[in-house]
Amino acid sequence: MKSLFFALALAAMSVSGCARVQKIVTKVPGATATILPTQGNDVHGSVRFQPHEDVVLVTGRITGLTPGAHGFHIHEKGNCASPDASSAGGHFNPSGAQHAGPYSENHHAGDLGNIIANTEGVAEFTLEVRGLSLGTDKDSIVGRSVIVHAHPDDLATQPSGGSGDRLACGLISRDP
């Protein structure tokens, strides 16, 4: 196949007198979530999910937080309609694992740990997460929601790490 490609390229060069090299870039589709506050809160932001080799890169910027750590999870339902985001259901957990930290061997697929807000209440973060996909498999997060919680996730308490109220919610949607 390579030799056929090179032969065609050489033929094109001899006909036109010059060669034009065109770089073909294939973009792997990602997903995004616009983070909107629950009732009585002012937390906003965006989160991007991008597949990269055997991980999903999760990057984001969330504002309106109190300084410090906040639990950050993917929840099972893509529904942020209720005032407290309870409509998003529990943590996304297709394998029925116990709650833990994102780098523990056994954990909910939706356990992303904590994001840390600075003194201005802004959390900017990049995480590498295994065990998620943006496809159609059982571990796909497309159509689910991402939640920012009021308190830190202790990475141990069942079923949600003791991270408290839901401050904001965003539907995870595949990029167009």
Residues designated catalytic: 73, 75, 91, 99, 108, 111, 149, 166
Nearest residue to 169 via CA among 33, 30, 31: 33
96 contacts 51 by C-beta, under 8 angstroms: no
Q: Which contiguous run of DSSP H or E holds residue 170?
A: strand 166-174
Work out whether strand 68-75 and strand 55-63 pair parallel, antiparallel, or are unpaired.
unpaired
Q: Which contiguous run of DSSP H or E holds residue 51?
A: strand 44-52
Three-class SS state of 84 = coil
Strand partners, 171: 145
Nearest residue to 147 via CA among 130, 133, 168, 128: 168
> Whole-angstrom Cα distance, residue 168 to residue 155?
20
- One-letter amino acid at 161 equals G
